[in-house]
A and B are shown apart, each in its own frame.
Chain A
Amino acid sequence: NAGVMQNPRHLVRRRGQEARLRCSPMKGHSHVYWYRQLPEEGLKFMVYLQKENIIDESGMPKERFSAEFPKEGPSILRIQQVVRGDSAAYFCASSPWDGTEAFFGQGTRLTVV
């Protein structure tokens, strides 16, 4: 049973481009969380999704950021028109239906140049 898979591991984008981060949850997990981590800082909650539903997006910036978790395929975190301040590590975690034992992926390190 593979763990939570995130890709790419590293992503470099120029200012103004779009960044698309993918997260495949563990098999049987229906909940996905996205977090952002700046260097030397903690995890900042962004969004919590279940299949085809956004449950809580209170941590998402109002503009340029969006997330989805379709019925088939990975969860996607999309950042449009990236700026230097978007440079960070983005982690996703998945958990089963009861929300226990959330497992994290290795993260995607986004660098905006």
Chain B
Amino acid sequence: QQQVKQSPQSLIVQKGGISIINCAYENTAFDYFPWYQQFPGKGPALLIAIRPDVSEKKEGRFTISFNKSAKQFSLHIMDSQPGDSATYFCAARSNTNNNDMRFGAGTRLTVKP
């Protein structure tokens, strides 16, 4: 059962473009939404995270937009670079069930030079 639905599965963007990855959830008990970046052969690394009391969080070229009423959140990568090519996972943590964390299926981003 996929509690966090992520799209698209793969994404190709030209260098300098904007990469947008979307996630949706159903469980209203989720209260913390991180994004992870994974390079081949490595473990996922925490990139940026947001809580539902804000609608947007920006760190450098990475921005999370959060829509609580729609139960959706997205990652925007501005000025995408070839070095951003990786797999990105959204996740959501429940404030019940002892802080269980669930992940989306991942988006494979390729940024072309």
**Docked complex Cα distance between A35 and B45 (Å):** 14
What total of chain A residues lie within 8 Å of the partner, measured CB to CB?
Answer: 29
Instruction: Pick out which of these stretches binds chain B: A13-21, A64-72, A100-108.
Output: A100-108
Contact in complex: B100, A55 (CB < 8 Å): yes
Residues of B within 8 A of A (CB): 1, 6, 32, 34, 36, 42-46, 49, 87, 89, 91, 93, 97-106, 108
Which A residues touch B45, using CB under 8 A? 104
Contact in complex: A101, B97 (CB < 8 Å): no
Residues of A within 8 A of B (CB): 4, 6, 31, 33, 35, 40-43, 45, 48, 50, 55-56, 58, 91, 93, 95, 97-107
Residue from B1, B36, B93 within 8 A of A99 (CB atoms): B93
Q: Which B-chain residue is minimally distant from A102 (CB atoms)?
A: B101
Which A residues touch B89, using CB under 8 A? 42-43
Distance (whole angstroms) from the CB of B22 to the closest CB of chain A: 15
Contact in complex: B49, A95 (CB < 8 Å): no
